[in-house]
A and B are shown apart, each in its own frame.
Chain A
């Protein structure tokens, strides 16, 4: 990373405002800037999001040679998993993913990042910029009391429900059913929750999985009060229950990609998630692919109402 300026793609820059993050990208070529500005139109130079936004200066640079990382090295349990290691100072992080290498330090006085690719077009491609942003945000929000959850995020009547679950548990299927019934989709893959008032809110982020993008993923900056967290499991029929506090925290932690097994992040993630689970109801849902979204949400609402009536909506 020495003499980064010598390796810049160009002299253009772009500012992306995501929830909790203002990323000032510099060293871009005209092509890179144009494509990024189009793909993230609603997040470009947008009004700063609430709550507290962290400004990060990020320099784009060209790698001297292709990475050529074999796919198995970037895969864990069949899922894409960029290689992560700590920089020698312990505060910085280096990420190697498909076609990119990135470094960042979020807790520094002046948070910084650098994003390198070998081919000009790669930088603005979803495999690079979206994965980089996901990882960056996942590391940025824990000190703010927030978390990035591998989950489906859906909004019904202005209230957000987040459905965390491992890959192939049915998050995208659930999202498609909900979208078809008129729900707003925050993401079918990665969602951001941040503390707000006495509770939490779920934020629109430009991260999606198989479901693809809706307007919220290119221009949404809305946040919605988080009504409930519904832990997803597959089953033959709808079954709903309230997990123990520890199970809730453990399963939420399992759905915090990039940070949940990082020894520098584990303690703060446990702090965040134990707080989250005391402020937002957590229930566990087992359902089949054929269950309608109406029946699923009816079961969720009924369980929440039961918990509310007996005064156990929250842990603690």
Chain B
């Protein structure tokens, strides 16, 4: 089984995003960038499927700038076999990304697309669902456990108030939630090996996909600030303050 894993280069998880003064976006100049944490979980899961013998080949794909090659090298160091960068400096909307991935899937014919449930920059939580809709494949979002076999995947999903288990026939799109696994750190020998693994670069324009934006960004602004209140000395002070505030 071939597994395709889309990955995204985003602002590092531990860096606080700052809005540009001219309100055109978030300042990413000289900011540490890393693989989106949910994508890491997806790569890890694909590697585990391969280690279990359920997957035979893992192809990592990214749609983004030239620097996204670093993100793909991280995926290769974790255990992906080869990588494809669809290179563009445009900031694509989720629908456009789904269309680009659909075009790659038409060439690669994977049986499983394993990807993160959301990227921590746009926070849209949309590409996986959109991709499965465009392909007319079944979707299993917010996965916390996956088993694959007999032409289907059995996926346990995080839903409001608990867990749901569904069977999806392959090919399918599965999106990873936080508790699916704990991603490994790439070892130094694997980082060295990853440098020699194949990484194809395709120009976005060569795919013939309509990626025109549907949304115009009017502005990006700071969220309303909350100011620190007071420090209380004892639990009794706290309770009397809360009573006065009318919330008890």
Tell whether A and B belong to one assembly. Answer: no
